[in-house]
Amino acid sequence: MAPLSTTSFPAEAVPQAPEDPLFGLMRAYKADESPNKVDLGIGAYRDNNGKPWVLPVVKKADDVIRSDPDLNHEYLPIAGLASFTSKAAELSLGASSAALAEKRVASVQTISGTGAVHLGALFLAKFYKVDGANRTVYVSNPTWANHNQIFTNVGLPIATYPYFDKQTKGLDIQGMLKALADAPERSIVLLHACAHNPTGVDPSPEQWRDIAEVMKAKKHFPFFDTAYQGFASGDLDRDAGAIRYFVEQGFELVIAQSFSKNLGLYGERAGAFHYVAAPASDATATTTRVASQLAILQRSEISNPPIYGAKVASTVLNDPALFAEWQENLRTMSGRIIAMREALRSKLEEYGTPGTWNHITDQIGMFSFTGLSEAQVAKLRSDFHVYMTKNGRISMAGLNTSNIEYFAKAVDSVVRGTQ
Ligand code: PLA
């Protein structure tokens, strides 16, 4: 007879958790044997053949790294590769940033963007407590699903501010501004720097000014997530506009930065976390103290970050010729995505698919928030082998000249059949 269970982890204590929706989708797509299957799930760039794209500039950087006779596999320092984090900070803040010149930026290399959001969350959970700080993190409705669990896992409660207007399929700026004005003073506000996930809807520069004004009046704490710099407009500087504006306005803020998408380094986990102090006579001292505590947190979690992706990024960021080539590669990616947006919209309009489809080209970045319902998404999957998240988000890079017609016809059929 088998002995009775003596586990310390019975189902009441450790219930079966659902599979992560996005990675579950990826698994289901791989298992699907249909030759027509279309993967519009995870936000990873694909070339026009539907294949992962190793950026040509990354191949070159890889050659440089591998042919270095001094190459070794030693530990990085706790804060990571300094030649990477310093350039990563410049990329986000601008090379002529006053914050950098005044030494009020602390940068730590992280396990990509996710690790950066987590490190920031952990830091705030431990230290954002003085003088009536409100520990609730306000995230856009909707936001990247992982934001919710990263913050709640470290004990910071989540609240939402309106963001996407279902009617216009654009930004609900009035709703957003009102929610930020109504939130308790000194709340933490998570902002997508550009190419908002999942909606593809970004505030205009004027709207960013209004957001900053309300946040300043309410003394809110900005937490920027920048995972798509270069993917929104194709221009690295323009895509950093919101962050730079907030820094110019004198906010103390943090930035979680990912190089997964813009360098195509998904599995290498290259990212950084930046703390920027507000201008003040003691700003450098504050920055030094913050950096010292970030190092303690990092040491206890991962000790020190992985080296390869950071080296690739550092090689590209520090070499003017490679940097220029990277910008070209970025334009290739963003250009192909824009071409797919145009093609999808024009096909749906050509078929007379019920509804309006201008939002497909109005939205920017990696994703389009199609407005398809959960039932329509399910039907696309069961009848057409199209894989997308159930909120109606599609990763535009999954479309190409070979599958766009198939996808557009599938959408047309499903929308007509479920009205
Ligand atoms: N922040 C946002 C807004 C993201 O969309 C993602 C990735 C990350 C951070 C983290 O990416 P990183 O850890 O690889 O740097 N979002 C993906 C993948 C691409 C994911 O969910 O992990 C997505 O499909 O939404």
Of 237, 180, 175, the residue nearest 201 (C-alpha): 175
Give the Cα separation of 345 and 370 in Å (integer).
Answer: 11
Q: How far is CA 419 from CA 352, 358, 360, 379, 415, in A?
A: 14, 19, 20, 13, 6
pLDDT of res. 2: 74
pLDDT of res. 348: 97
Nearest CA to ligand 1 atom 1: 227
Q: To the nearest 10°, the Cα dihedral for 133, 137, 141, 146?
A: 170
Choosing from 260, 268, 302, 393 the residue with most ligand 1 atoms within 8 A of its CB, the one to mutate for a pocket test is: 260
Q: Span 20-31, mean pLDDT?
A: 93
Least confident of 83-87, 129-133, 273-277, 302-306: 129-133
pLDDT of res. 314: 98
Give the Cα separation of 363 and 348 in Å (integer).
Answer: 16
pLDDT of res. 6: 87
pLDDT of res. 3: 75
Give the Cα separation of 207 and 262 in Å (integer).
Answer: 25
Token pair 């103390």 is found at 252
Give the Cα separation of 114 and 153 in Å (integer).
Answer: 13
pLDDT of res. 4: 74
Q: Span 18-38, mean pLDDT?
A: 94
pLDDT of res. 132: 87
Ligand 1: distance of its center to the CA of 194 in Å?
Answer: 13
pLDDT of res. 87: 98
Q: Tokens for 148, please give them.
A: 């919710």
The strand ranges marked E within 73-132 are 105-111
Q: How far is CA 362 from CA 140, 165, 175, 399, in A?
A: 19, 14, 20, 17
pLDDT of res. 419: 65
Model confidence pLDDT, tens digit, residues 67-114? 999 999 999 999 999 999 999 999 999 999 999 999 999 999 999 999
Choosing from 27, 192, 197, 367 the residue with most ligand 1 atoms within 8 A of its CB, the one to mutate for a pocket test is: 197
- Give the pairing type, strands 386-387 and 38-39: parallel
pLDDT of res. 131: 83
Ligand 1: distance of its center to the CA of 146 in Å?
Answer: 8
Q: Tokens for 124, please give them.
A: 């705030």
| Torsions phi, psi for 284 (to 5 deg) | -65, -40
Share of the chain above pLDDT 90, in %: 95
Nearest CA to ligand 1 atom 15: 113
Start-to-end CA distance of the chain, whole Å, equals 58
Q: Span 352-364, mean pLDDT?
A: 95
Ligand 1: distance of its center to the CA of 192 in Å?
Answer: 11
Of 304, 268, 331, the residue nearest 65 (C-alpha): 268
Q: Span 346-370, mean pLDDT?
A: 95
Model confidence pLDDT, tens digit, residues 218-274? 999 999 999 999 989 889 999 999 999 999 999 999 999 999 999 999 999 999 999
Query: Does the structure show a pLDDT above 80 at 309?
Result: yes
Average pLDDT over the chain reads 96
Ligand 1: distance of its center to the CA of 113 in Å?
Answer: 7
Least confident of 18-22, 157-161, 188-192, 328-332: 18-22
**Ligand 1 site residues, Cβ closer than 6 angstroms:** 22, 42-43, 112-114, 144, 146, 192, 197, 225, 227, 258, 260, 266, 271
Report which residue type is found at 287: T
pLDDT of res. 311: 98
Catalytic residues: 144, 225, 261
Please give the number of the atom of ligand 1 that sits closest to the Cα of 22. Answer: 21
Query: At 106, is the secondary structure helix, strand, or coil?
Result: strand
